[in-house]
Homo-oligomer: A and B are copies of this chain.
């Protein structure tokens, strides 16, 4: 290779991922130089608090606090790793406007402002790399953007939130309540002190919008499609599913459906013999189906310091080699082709798992069956075991009652939901989950 200039990086943020990136660049510099064809040099590491102790030893003189260093002429790439969307958005805009490429691991930012940022990058002839924003170390962005480029993508089905997957694994494998599994996830560093964004499906849904834009050119916001978290599930639900031959996973799906794009992120029953059902602990898996290649799977750690840093550094290598700059303008991020419109939620058609806590009295099952029948929802199977559960303060005893439906639309289900909410035979904690495969 010709003796090229180093690729010069301004690292913004030295938290978990930022210090992981610095670590790889500093400790693996020889290996990276070989794979990148030139050195990748950190010229500044910009942080809010320079006095904080960090677990990486930076070269003298590069730690700084002024975001304006982003614009310095010696910077080629801005690596945004501070998280959040306000300052992070400003940093990315500032970088692009100053003619720098951008690497980011920030899915919330891309979900919220990706459209604007991608446009700005295109106008400035610059590149945004975001492999680390979806599924951490798993190279699914490369997969969709490049390796499977010969294919029209038919569907993406993905386990994108490691925290939720860890909690679900822990509950079923160790007979643990939802609350205890959350605590354990926090102890292990998989869940934040406030795990809301993980367990309510927001994080997975944000990643899904990025994949949907990349694979189908469709810009969706979180309010455009059904989203449900694992925070309504009981251990008992995982056990009923097990009994019926399924695992419950927080599954994000984007798929072509008669000229529309079907989108949703929900805890979903998956047949045990399918590969997605076998994903355990904090791992992520993405199933990408192409018209030529059929189904392919990508799996690995979707979060954590070094897996995420691995994706960021791979993006920097792509920029150093020059590949990323060639690939970015060809991605379907600006609606060059007519984007697939989003299928209205009411028209999504699936089978469902319904779990009721029903009062143990004559006519209960008949009431439920009647409501379902009135909305054209056909029952495929049901389970009622002969035991009572704690009735949450009610005087009457309560029994769990589980129904599996035949395929029906979300619209029919929502209409039935309203009527079920007014049904005196059941408690209000009625749970509805879609079934896959």
- Asked if residues B293 and A137 are in contact (CB atoms below 8 Å), the reply is yes
- Asked if residues A297 and B299 are in contact (CB atoms below 8 Å), the reply is yes
A360 at interface, CB cutoff 8 A = no
- Asked if residues A296 and B300 are in contact (CB atoms below 8 Å), the reply is yes
Scoring A residues 4 to 32 as 1 if CB is less than 8 Å from chain B, else 0, what string do you get? 00000000000000001000100010011
Known: A296-B139, A307-B292, A323-B326. Contact between A146 and B314, CB under 8 A? yes
Known: A299-B275, A321-B327. Contact between A147 and B152, CB under 8 A? no
Known: A138-B296, A278-B275, A327-B321. Contact between A36 and B149, CB under 8 A? yes
A226 at interface, CB cutoff 8 A = no
With CB as the reference atom, state the residue of chain B lying closest to A318.
B146
Name which of A84-92, A195-203, A329-337 contacts chain B.
A329-337
- Asked if residues B307 and A294 are in contact (CB atoms below 8 Å), the reply is yes
Interchain CA distance A313-B291 in the complex, whole Å: 13
Scoring A residues 251 to 273 as 1 if CB is less than 8 Å from chain B, else 0, what string do you get? 00000000000000000000001
- Asked if residues A297 and B294 are in contact (CB atoms below 8 Å), the reply is no
Residues of A268-289 contacting chain B, CB below 8 A: 273, 275, 278-280, 285
- Asked if residues A151 and B310 are in contact (CB atoms below 8 Å), the reply is yes
Known: A297-B298, A310-B150. Contact between A330 and B292, CB under 8 A? no
- CB of A327 to closest CB in B, whole Å: 7
- Asked if residues B148 and A314 are in contact (CB atoms below 8 Å), the reply is yes
- Asked if residues B337 and A34 are in contact (CB atoms below 8 Å), the reply is yes
- CB of A62 to closest CB in B, whole Å: 20
A41 at interface, CB cutoff 8 A = no
Known: A306-B292, A327-B321. Contact between A34 and B300, CB under 8 A? no
- Asked if residues A306 and B294 are in contact (CB atoms below 8 Å), the reply is yes
- Asked if residues B296 and A24 are in contact (CB atoms below 8 Å), the reply is no
- Asked if residues A139 and B150 are in contact (CB atoms below 8 Å), the reply is no
Copies in the complex: 2
- CB of A56 to closest CB in B, whole Å: 13
A417 at interface, CB cutoff 8 A = no
Interchain CA distance A273-B272 in the complex, whole Å: 13
Known: A139-B147, A317-B149. Contact between A310 and B326, CB under 8 A? no
- CB of A242 to closest CB in B, whole Å: 15
Q: Which residues of B contact A292 (CB under 8 A)?
A: 20, 24, 28, 137, 306-307, 309-310, 313
Interchain CA distance A139-B293 in the complex, whole Å: 10
- Asked if residues B326 and A330 are in contact (CB atoms below 8 Å), the reply is no
- Asked if residues A310 and B298 are in contact (CB atoms below 8 Å), the reply is no
A290 at interface, CB cutoff 8 A = yes
Scoring A residues 313 to 351 as 1 if CB is less than 8 Å from chain B, else 0, what string do you get? 110111001110011011010001100000000000000
Interchain CA distance A14-B148 in the complex, whole Å: 22
Interchain CA distance A311-B147 in the complex, whole Å: 8
Q: Which residues of B contact A323 (CB under 8 A)?
A: 146, 323, 326-327
Q: Which residues of B contact A414 (CB under 8 A)?
A: none
Which of B291, B313, B329 has a CB less than 8 Å from the CB of A1?
Answer: B329
A301 at interface, CB cutoff 8 A = yes
A83 at interface, CB cutoff 8 A = no
Which of B142, B149, B321, B329 has a CB less than 8 Å from the CB of A147?
Answer: B142
- CB of A32 to closest CB in B, whole Å: 7
Residue of A24, A131, A278, A304 with most chain B CB atoms under a 10 A cut-off: A278
Interchain CA distance A317-B32 in the complex, whole Å: 25
Q: Which residues of B contact A273 (CB under 8 A)?
A: 280
Give me the 8 closest cross-chain CB pairs, A-B, nearest first.
A139-B147, A296-B300, A150-B313, A137-B293, A292-B310, A293-B310, A297-B299, A142-B147
> Can you spell out 10 A-B residue pairs with CB atoms less than 8 angstroms apart?
A28-B150, A28-B152, A32-B150, A137-B294, A146-B317, A149-B314, A150-B309, A293-B301, A294-B306, A299-B299
